[in-house]
Amino acid sequence: MKIAVAQFEPKDGDKDYNLSIIDQLTKKAKLSDADVISFHEMSITAYTFTKDLNLAELTTLAEEVPNGNSTKRLLSISKKYDIPILAGLVEKENDQLFNTYLCVNKGQVVAKFRKLHPFISKHISPGNDYVVFDLLGWKCGILICYDNNVIENVRATTLLGAELIFAPHVTCCTPSAMPGRGYVEDTFWQNRELDPVSLRSEFDGPKGRAWLMRWLPARAYDNGVYYAFTNPIGYDGEHLKNGNSMIIDPFGEILTEVRSFENDIAMTTISKDKISLSGGYRYRNARRPELYKDIIGQDHESNFKPVWIKD
């Protein structure tokens, strides 16, 4: 299967604009013979700005799935180019809101996943289900952003049969207790054409890609799965993001990665033979759950608010 991962700079709350970019990049992927294309977290609505929306404003932004206009538009784009698309939005169901990621193909919603660990808004409810679905002969899972930082989520999704995990994010370039983390100054972005080296150094350092490399390849390696990571480029809300959308194989190796500062895609072909050859595949088969099932499953109070979220 030939996968395309995308990056683009969204506009806050401008669904028409964001869907138009999704259309353009989907066309680009199809013309390059991609079999599927994946976009970042809440790519239809944008993400970071929703932290400042009240319940009424967020509810107005949200839509039902599959009957909302954005889902219908996504289905139309998928049908037009005859390619599956994965993208995210704010979903509303009854009186609840969710950070939701969809896979659409051939005029229907193939999969719908609700983020398990949402924190951008107190009005967004957590999802409570893992999702594994069939796509073009592959078993695929979805975990959104912070969900991937909790290693149990990746293991559970893999144990449910996932061979490929789509990991849409809006991440990096925000403060953390880890040395070197923090925001990237706007000056670097404004000077990206005159001084691309300095911006690339910021994006590739501990504020961005170097942080990803501490854990993202490990998720693929430890579980023996492919990872399709997506992330916006440029500003999402007031936060500058580094892009670096990439595909990682079951050995933890980066197969392809977007390295530009533009709305762009990267593609590669993945094959199943690597999965059974990987260390993570062998480690899964060597597990002894009787030793730790009661430890891992014991009661626990979840707390996952990041440093940069204000009370």
pLDDT at 114 over 70: yes
Q: What is the DSSP string of 59-109?
A: HHH-B-TTTSHHHHHHHHHHHHHT--EEEEEEEEETTEEEEEEEEEETTEE
- Domain annotation covers residue 103: yes
Does residue 311 lie within any of the structural domains?
no
In a domain, 308, yes or no: no
Q: With beta carbons less than 8 A apart as the criterion, state whether 119 and 125 touch.
A: no
Domain contains 229:
yes
For residue 158, pLDDT beyond 90? yes
Residue 310 lies in a domain: no
> pLDDT digit string (tens) for 210-245?
999 999 999 999 999 999 999 999 999 999 999 999
Query: What is the value of pTM for the model shown?
Result: 0.96
In this structure, what token pair is assigned to residue 219?
């998720």
List C-alpha distances in Å: 76 to 22, 45, 84, 134, 179.
12, 17, 11, 21, 45
Domain count, the chain: 1
Q: 118-139, pLDDT tens digit by residue?
A: 999 999 999 999 999 999 999 9
Would you state the pLDDT for residue 215?
97
Within a domain: 113: yes
Query: Residues 143-152: what's their mean pLDDT?
Result: 97
Q: How confident is the model at residue 305 (pLDDT cuts 50, 70, 90)?
A: confident
Is residue 246, in this structure, part of any structural domain at all? yes
CATH number at residue 174: 3.60.110.10
Q: Which domain holds residue 69?
A: 2-296
